[in-house]
Structure formats: structure tokens, C-alpha cells
Structure 1
């Protein structure tokens, strides 16, 4: 049964097995969503312990929301460590959890996160500079936010017999620039850990949790297979980011992202009329 704590804006529901040999998974949904859309993924992860956390107030302050989550976890004493799985705006809450309880985070899966602006830049930059996860496993999954906009462009170009008008040329430039910035923001998150994996799904839109729960499951299983013993971290080589599309490695670069992210969200607003959560 879902648990709604008095005087809070959170609802909690436990799924999966009673197997305590692995950290419990906490699910962080995106803006305007709920964990109802995570049910297929929860079914695939049934061998693990799962906590589905719904933020009932869409306008709740992120710090207040995390405070409620931590209070619930402390009272329930569910687990000593957690694997955080976040989608879109849920990445803000997952990173604030990481900031509050870094020792309790055993690993992370970040799905279509990185473009959200809800976390202070100084916190984010500090997490990157410290590589706050150390050698704990991290997977960053990037979909294709512009998938449908690209399809519209291709259809419009075909209607003009592949002779792009000035308007279409400008649209193409915006699409390409926005795609490059989206890739940069997603890959910047790999700085959180030395032990990371990057997955790109060019044929999937923003809603990766619903559209490709199998890929997210693979990512969670990879994290579980690469857990570090509590209290110690085994040195590992700095991993390269691997692209699921072509398998090429891409070297990491430290980046300052705050101002470019705001500009990126502005581009998305122009392309879509509003930003997606």
C-alpha cells in the first residue's frame, strides 16, 4: 500500500523482493510525472528492493522534498545504502540526495538528466570537481529529446524536394546546436564518478523510462554488478564514455555548464514552446 506521511507532500511505495543483499533502489520521476509510469521498469527490476517516491506537490521546493524523503528513510530504516535512478527533472532531487548523504549512495543511473536548472551551480560544480561518487558506479543515459522535431524537419525538407528554404536552414542550425549542447550537458555528469558508463539512444525520445525500460534495467544491473565494498573503494581506471550508437570512446572534459544550460533551455523553449520535464 502507498504510504503518505502526515503533513508532507510525498507518497512512498515499496516494490520488488525482500532481498537485502543489494542496495535499495530509489526512483526519482520527472516534472509533471509520477512513478505510475515507472511500473514496467519496476516489474523488470523485481529481484531488487525498490522505493517509488512520488512528489505530490509539483511546485515543492527541492530541498524540502529531499528533507521529507530523508526523514522517511531514517524513520523506516529501509537500507543503509541506495542506488538512485532519476529521470529528467528528477535528477535535481537525486543530486541533492547525493549532496546530503554521499556515503549512503552506492551508485546512480541518470536518465535524460543534466539539462535541469533546479540545483545550485556551486553545488553541481563541487560535485563534479570532487568526483563525489569516487569509484562508485554511474550510468548516464541520453535519449533524443529532439527526435520528433527532427522528424518534422525531415518531412518539411522532403516536401521541398530536399531544397531547404532559408527558414528550414535556420531551423536545422538550431536543431544541430541544441543537440550538441544536450550531448555536452549529459556527458558533463560523467564527472561525478571515475567508474562510469555512457549510453546513447538516438532512436528514443525524452521518455526513456516508459519507452525503453529494458535499457534502464541493463544500466541498473551494471551498477549492481560494479558496487564497491562499503567503507572502501577499489581503484579503477578512468573509463571512457561509450556511445551505444557507434561504440566510439569520447574523452572527458571538465566544463562550466550553468550559463550554457540556461541558454540551452531557452533554445528548447523556442523549439517546443515549453521545456520538457
Structure 2
């Protein structure tokens, strides 16, 4: 058996007796004089100078570092001797390295003379000013005598200048105007997240969702590519934390169409049988199988030779021939986004979550990112970790293109597939207008709030923050994925997978979401805010008019990949199905698993 080579995250790790070669976190070495201890001490001392930045309506002091503008005309200031990591000017760090994720674990201001506030995103005000929020979730620092608007809301100090936690709410008398929106120029994490989702640490998350601002339904692929030369926003936002009941059945049931594709001469479109029959009820998810051992949280950095990728293996222990569910995330997205779906499917299947090269907790790769490279590196990761086929690939957004590249390179390894609002080779057709500039229309509004993503996401507040922090680490790679978008689509198109029915009779589920609703909300909110030029608004309207019909067509095109398929239309769900409707995604995974097992019984797989 090949032993996986895993390296620790921080702190170092020790092997599990029951899992040779598997490394889990261990206590750090605190012995005096240890090189590790000295390193940790130096790191701790350096991080003491890190913290969230000051917002000011005016100029920074001569001894401060001017980190640039947030929303015009407001600026961000850091103490002298600190730096503003490129595109992350809401924080002050000891070096150019982004220290946001560390600060989210222990939030504080970079100067002890500032008060820390949290309006779904941390920021600092001088102790003589008061933090406030206004309708639309913009926020800032008010000087004494500032005349508040009736919709303004005074914020409580999270950490005072003296370092004491404050519980009292400030009195609405007096304060400043250093208003700034929760958005600051920067790169997108999904790119959008963000969703993110979608930085949301939520701030970072919006970063990700920002890229989605250009791509949502397209997974930020071509959309992100088209807007890659525009300003990417690092958003210091977070919406109200809201854990939704995973068992809630208040959402309308998806429309499900099942059929068997009959391939004609290859030039005619496949015939979808049973499309007009009674809609099929969703698959019932099984309870945890009796007598099945659960995987004990295998996770760590796995070397694939050139660099390391972060890997998690969850769910039940596999039996021989049982499909392994592998999730392929959208552009810039990370494993931490998939906690809700993991909870639903881990009782009945084994699953893999991982971060692609340069994203989340993984190392940067030696090659520029592309879907084909991602597929190759995933294959190597599974080999090294001794995770064998058959595989059930679940591709969301850009991850759908990676799944199909994997199918092309390793066809015998793929037993089935779920394509969840996946990007396709036709994505450039959707974002064809050169005047299209979604971030310009979005302006200083926040994607996750305008679209309702944060409220709808079935993640806890801590899960949302963790996701956002991981997304923020990969902004450079996310942008690189966006720049390669058109080439990636063209490369996939050359493989003619529809014509060849590349999956044969292996089961395929295609899920179509209504990402257009996300962008319609963005357009309407942007117009109300007066954002964008007339040509940009016209281009946006053109996109909205074409989106629904064209996306449905592109999603249905994918049914040609397999002779055994199922099409699910979700009228109540935006692009981020794994965050909003993980129950539907879980049902489709189970539907594909059942058909894989049936085919195995018949000797077809």
C-alpha cells in the first residue's frame, strides 16, 4: 500500500498509530531554546504589531502609513512600521504577508489608541470618535458634533482603546464623520466569495463572492476573466450570523426531470425521454448504515512531489468498489465552504474535500492554474493518499469544468458525476459585451447582503468566518484562474465531449440554479445607489435578459455527456447551491450513488 506523505499545518503533527503515515496536529514544542519555540516567539512578537486599520475622513498623520482609499473619499491608515498587504488595506501587518486570518482569531486594532468595532466586519476608529453603521451596511467613524441620519445606528465598542471589552452601547449624541463603506479595494476571493461566499471573514468571503459577481452561475470563470482588469474588492463585511435548520422543509421542492438519452447519429441532439412525465420526488437520504465505521477525520498537507495540497477525507470507511465522492469547487472557493453538505452526506458515503493549488491551506503550485492542471494534480493527490476509484465527481461552477477535464484524462476512474450549476465551454458567450462591468454597478454594496447569500447560507458564523479566511489566502490564484478562463473554456470545447457522449451510460445529475436572481438584485440595488455609467447599465440589462434562457440551455447541453441522466431545476436557489440548498445537492449525490451501485450489480461499471 502506498503511504501518503503528509506534512503538518501549524503546529507540527504526530503520526496516528492506527493510520501509518497520517499526521495530525500535535502540541507545539515549548522547550526553552528549541528553534521552533524561538520561531514561535518571534512570530508572536511580530504579530503584536498587527491589527485592523483606522478609518478616517481626511489624511493620515505624517507618522502613519497611508494604505489608500476605501470608498471615496475615505482612507485607511496604519501605524508607522507596519504594512498594508496588497489589496488588503483593512488590516495592518508586520510585513507584506496578509495577516487577516490571524487577526480574525484574535481581533484587535493595530494601535492601542483606537477602538475596535464590528459591523459584520471589523474596523477601527480613533478613541475620540464613534463607530456607526447606516442603511446598506456602510459604516464609519463619527467625530463629535456629526449630524446623524435617522437611519444611522451607533455601534458598540468590541475592544476599547484600553483593551477592555465593552458591553455598553454608545450614546447617540455627538460623534464624527469618517463614513466608509465596508468595502475596500482589493482582490476577490472566489472571486468573487466571495459568496463568497460570495473578505468576509466574512470580509474575505465577499472577496470570493465578488468574483462571483462576474461569474456566479458561471462559477466566476469567464465572468471573472472579463473583469480581471477591474478593481477587485476586499470587503470588510459580514451579514447577521444565522444558522438555519438543516431539516427545514420550507423551501419549494426542485423540479426533477429524469431521462435516458438515446444517441442518434451524433449530429442530432439527444432525445430526453420522460421529460413530460410526472415529476420525480427527491431521493430520500439514508440514515447512517449500521455497522459502518466512520473515517476519523483524516486531514493534512499531502505532498504530490512538486508541492503540497490540503486534503480531508470524511464520512464512512469505504468498502471495496464503493464510490468515493470528490468535491471540485468553483473559482477561488475552498473546502471550508462545504461543511453543510459534508454534514448531510457523511453518514452514508466516504468523501474528499481538498484545496486546489494556491487556494485555502494548499501550497502554491509550480504551474499557472488551469482546469487541466487541476485535474492532473487531483489525480496525483488521490494516488499518493491511496484513494482509489471508482470516483463520483461533484463539480460546482468552475469545478464542473475541472470534473470534465478529469473525465477526459482519466475516464476509467469516473463512475458518475453531479454538475451543480456548472460552468461550461460556452461561458464566453454569456459574457460577451465589452461594456459589462458588474463591480462598477455593484459599487460599495456588498454581494452577500444584496443577494441574501449570508442569511441563506447554512453555515454557522464560525464556519462562515473560517471559509472567508481560507478564501482570502488564495486571492492571487483566484485571479489567475479568472485570467485563464477563456482559454480553459476553449480547451474543453476542443474535446467534443457532447458529441462522443463521454460518460457513456454512467449516471449524471445536472442541477440548474437561478444565478440570474443574484445579479438582478445587484443591478436593482446598484441602480438605486446611482452606480455605473449608462453603457454599463445597458450591458448589465442585456446580460440579465439573456441569462436565464442561455444558462438553462448550457446546463441542458451537459445531459449529452451521459445516456443516464437527471436534470434538476431549482427556482428558489442562487448560484451557491452548496451553501443555500445542500439538501438538494445531497439528494443528487445519493441518486448517482444508487445508480452506480445498480450498474455494478449488473456488471456495467
| Aligned-residue offset at 1:45 | 0.9
Alpha-carbon deviations, 1:84-129, whole Å to 9, x = none? 001101112111110111111110000111345524144442x111
Instruction: Find the counterpart in structure 1 of residue 548 from structure 2.
Output: 179
SS of residue paired to 1:229: helix
Structure 1 counterpart of 2:511:
141
- In the alignment, what sits opposite 1:214? 583
Instruction: Using the TM superposition, give the Cα deviation of residue 67 of structure 1 relative to its aligned residue in structure 2, in angstroms.
Output: 2.0
Aligned to 2:379: 70
Greater relative CO, 1 or 2 (CA 8 Å, sep 6+): 1
Are positions 1:57 and 2:358 aligned together? yes
In 1: Cα distance, 2:329 partner to 2:539 partner: 34
Aligned to 1:33: 333
How far did 1:152 drift? 5.8
CA apart distance, 1:232:
4.6
Q: CA deviation at 1:19?
A: 3.0
1:200 aligns with 2:569: yes
Equivalence for 2:600: 229
Q: TM-score, normalised by structure 1?
A: 0.72
In structure 2, what is the equivalent of residue 266 of structure 1? none
Mark the CA change 1:62 to 1:148 in structure 2 (over 3 Å): closer, same or farther.
Answer: closer
* Pair 98,231 (structure 1): closer, same or farther in 2 beyond 3 Å: farther
| Number of aligned residue pairs | 227
Partner of 2:317: 18
Q: Which residue does 2:421 correspond to in 1?
A: 112
Check the 8 A contact 2:301/2:308 in 1, yes or no: no
8 Å Cα contact 1:3/1:13 also seen in 2: no
Q: 2: CA distance between counterparts of 1:203 and 1:29?
A: 21
Asked if structure 1 preserves the Cα contact closer than 8 Å seen for 2:401 and 2:492, the reply is no
Q: C-alpha distance in 1, partners of 2:406/2:602?
A: 19
Residue 3 (structure 2) pairs with residue 3 (structure 1): no
Q: How far is the alpha carbon of 1:8 from its aligned partner?
A: 2.2
Find the residue that maps to 1:15 and give its secondary structure: strand
Task: After TM superposition, list the pairs within 5 Å mapping 1:251-262 onto structure 2.
Answer: none
Deviation of 1:138 after TM superposition, in Å, equals 0.3
Distance 2:555 2:561 in 1: 12
Alignment of 1:91-106 (within 5 A): 91-106=400-415
Aligned to 2:97: none
1:212-265 Cα offsets, whole Å, 9 max, x none, are 11000000000011112289539xxxxxxxxxxxxxxxxxxxxxxxxxxxxxxx
Q: Scaled by the length of structure 2, what TM-score is found?
A: 0.35
* Structure 2: 5+ residue stretches without partners: 1-298, 360-367, 428-485, 528-535
Write the distance in 1 (CA, Å) between the matches of 2:372 and 2:387.
21
After superposition, the C-alpha distances for 1:7-41 in whole angstroms (9 at most, x for unaligned) are: 32532111111032521011101112101011111
Shift in alpha-carbon separation, 1:230–1:84, aligned structure 2, 3 A: farther
1:150–1:175 Cα contact (<8 Å) kept:
yes
Q: Residues 93, 153 of structure 1: CA spacing in aligned structure 2 closer, same or farther, 3 A cutoff?
A: closer
Determine helix, strand or coil for the equivalent of 1:139.
Answer: strand
Contact kept in structure 2, 1:131 and 1:194, CA below 8 Å? yes
Aligned residues of 2:309 and 2:381 also touching (Cα < 8 A): no
Taking only aligned residues, the RMSD between alpha carbons, in angstroms, comes to: 2.9
Quick check: which one's helix share is greater?
Answer: 1
Retained in 2: the 8 A contact 1:106–1:137? Answer: yes
Q: Who wins on radius of gyration, i.e. which is larger?
A: 2
Q: In structure 2, the residue corresponding to 1:197 is in which secondary structure?
A: strand
Say whether 1:80 aligns with 2:389.
yes
Judge conservation of contact 1:107–1:138 (CA < 8 Å) in 2: yes
1:130, 1:231 → 2: CA distance? 23
Any stretches of 5+ residues in structure 1 without a counterpart? 158-166, 235-277
Give distance in 2, aligned partners of 1:45 and 1:25.
9
Question: Contact 1:28/1:91 (CA < 8 Å) preserved in 2?
Answer: yes
> What SS does structure 2 have at the residue aligned with 1:129?
helix
Spell out, residue by residue over 1:137-183, the C-alpha distance to the aligned partner (whole angstroms, 9 max, x if none): 100111111113334667899xxxxxxxxx99986554231221111
Q: Contact between 1:111 and 1:140, CA under 8 Å: does it hold in 2? A: yes
